[in-house]
Amino acid sequence: MDKLRIVGGTTLSGRVSISGAKNASLPIMAASILSDNPLTLKNLPHVADILSMANLLATLGVKLTMEGCGEGENAQGKVITFDASSLNSVVAPYDLVRKMRASILVLGPLLARTGYAKVSLPGGCAIGARPVDLHLKAMEKLGAEIEIDKGYVSAKAPNGLVGADINFPIVTVGGTENALMAAVLAEGRTRLINAACEPEIEDLANCLNTMGAKIEGVGTSELIIDGVESLSSATHRIIPDRIETGTYLIAGAITRGSIILENTCLEHLSFFVDKLREIGVIIKEKEDKVYVSANKKELRCVDITTAPYPGFPTDLQAQTMSLLCTVTGKSSIRENIFENRFMHVPELIRMGAKISLDNHTASIEGGKLHGAEVMATDLRASVSLVLAALSADKEETLINRIYHLDRGYERIESKIRTLGAKIDRLKGS
Ligand code: UD1
């Protein structure tokens, strides 16, 4: 397995281009199943999860045509057309689903389009049990019959789905996306109450509306969907990845550097940006570029609690913890979304961090981080170790099991190297 070797202590500087959002791309790719007309998506990121979803869609009979593919420093993402006019399977097999939880997002579209779906249960994962009960309840509310057998969810609605009021007891991003996609072709009106309102869901709803869906309340926690009979062809550009954006903001801050982020927008990250400013990081936006620096100012400790959008994103919790490990004083982070999302803590402790855990709260006593050999455990935990390693003055860190990083960060080592970091990939057997 590949490893990353990083020698820390370089003050990062230069420009980095932000890729399209992985978490917006995945549901929108799945939405192509809803239509027998082609859907062209622009700005898809070059990451392994996109390939996994593409493989799954191909297995279902969706034809994928690569229309263009920017490479290198000026990459503008992939352009792919998805043509689901001749679906030939409704089965999402275990072998594909186990690689990526988000595969469950084909459930709603398959059911809505064909009346049937058989999708492997995603199983556990490193950041907690992550059930899909709310996805299934939403499908039942829309009239589907659900059975679970031998690790597969079988759903059927041979006479089509029927609109309903769905009140989510907790905010779920994937559950909202599945229900939204299913409701678009259901007969009559659906109301999604206490819906997640992450920018990725807004992007999905905007794309569906471009395809001819009738969704109101886009960007809010109550979505009203009037079902339509069919969808037309459309072209949609994926929004910039706000989590990659936040990660590079921290890369600038943790190395006390000064970098420029291109092809992004801070609008989707207001709460997070406010917190970084509270820490003392300087962030400015000028003519579609974002400038981050932390070279002169003393940084301050803070208390953070993760929450659904527009709150502090759980997907930036691990990276922010790395930064706070380098900020003098006592900070705390409470993780409110996932029950087991502190897998990076023991690894950061190996790098000299002083962190104590009490249930859902991590208390951090800021100081210096050192190089060490560590293990990546999930996508965001992995990148938090990269950030921590960048700050370890002239010391070497080896990060094992970095395949997690490739799932969600496009060309990470080449992007960071361009900013001046000493980072290499050691090819494993
Ligand atoms: C999505 C994101 C992930 C992010 C998370 C929270 C994608 C591909 N992934 O994951 O990066 O960390 O949102 O912002 O977009 N839950 C249930 N039952 C369900 C569904 C969820 O109990 O049926 C619970 C989960 O265990 C978790 C919470 O709800 O505790 C939120 O999960 P959810 O918003 O559904 O996360 P994902 O869609 O899996």
Which atom of ligand 1 sits closest to the CA of residue 135? 23
Q: How far is the CA of 329 from the centre of ligand 1 (A)?
A: 32
Q: How far is the CA of 86 from the centre of ligand 1 (A)?
A: 31
CA-nearest residue for atom 30, ligand 1, is 338
pLDDT of residue 296: 60
Tokens matching residue 297: 């100012």
pLDDT of residue 214: 98
H/E stretch holding 413 reads helix 412-418
For ligand 1, pick from 172, 268, 407 the residue to mutate: most ligand atoms within 8 Å of CB.
172
The SS3 of residue 354 is: strand
DSSP string, 264-332: --SGGGHHHHHHHHHHT-EEEEETTEEEEE-SSSPP---EEEB-STTSB-GGGHHHHHHHHTTSSEEEE
pLDDT of residue 126: 61
- Known catalytic residue: 125? yes
Contact 138, 105 (CB under 8 A): no
For ligand 1, pick from 130, 243, 382 the residue to mutate: most ligand atoms within 8 Å of CB.
130
Q: How far is the CA of 413 from the centre of ligand 1 (A)?
A: 28
Return d(Cα 405, Cα 19) in angstroms, integer: 14
Tokens matching residue 359: 């249930």
Q: Give the C-alpha distances (Å, rounded to integers) separating 182 from 136, 213, 225, 343.
A: 11, 11, 10, 34
pLDDT of residue 73: 46
Specify the residue for token string 């791309």.
25
Return d(Cα 37, Cα 27) in angstroms, integer: 17
pLDDT of residue 275: 98
pLDDT of residue 287: 84
For ligand 1, pick from 50, 173, 176 the residue to mutate: most ligand atoms within 8 Å of CB.
173
pLDDT of residue 310: 97
CA-nearest residue for atom 25, ligand 1, is 130
Pocket of ligand 1 (CB under 6 A): 23, 26, 102, 128, 130-135, 170, 172-175, 196, 200, 314-315, 337-338
Which atom of ligand 1 sits closest to the CA of residue 379? 11
Per-residue confidence in pLDDT tens, the chain, 429 aa: 889 999 999 999 999 999 999 999 999 999 999 999 999 999 999 999 999 999 999 999 999 998 877 554 445 678 999 999 999 999 999 999 998 999 999 999 999 999 999 999 986 556 566 789 999 999 999 999 999 999 999 999 999 999 999 999 999 999 999 999 999 999 999 999 999 999 999 999 999 999 999 999 999 999 999 999 999 999 999 999 999 999 999 999 999 999 999 999 999 999 999 999 999 999 999 988 999 999 766 799 999 999 999 999 999 999 999 999 999 999 999 999 998 899 999 999 999 999 999 999 999 999 999 999 999 888 999 999 999 999 998 899 999 999 889 999 999 999 999 999 999 999 886
Q: How far is the CA of 173 from the centre of ligand 1 (A)?
A: 5
Which atom of ligand 1 sits closest to the CA of residue 200? 15
Residues in the chain: 429
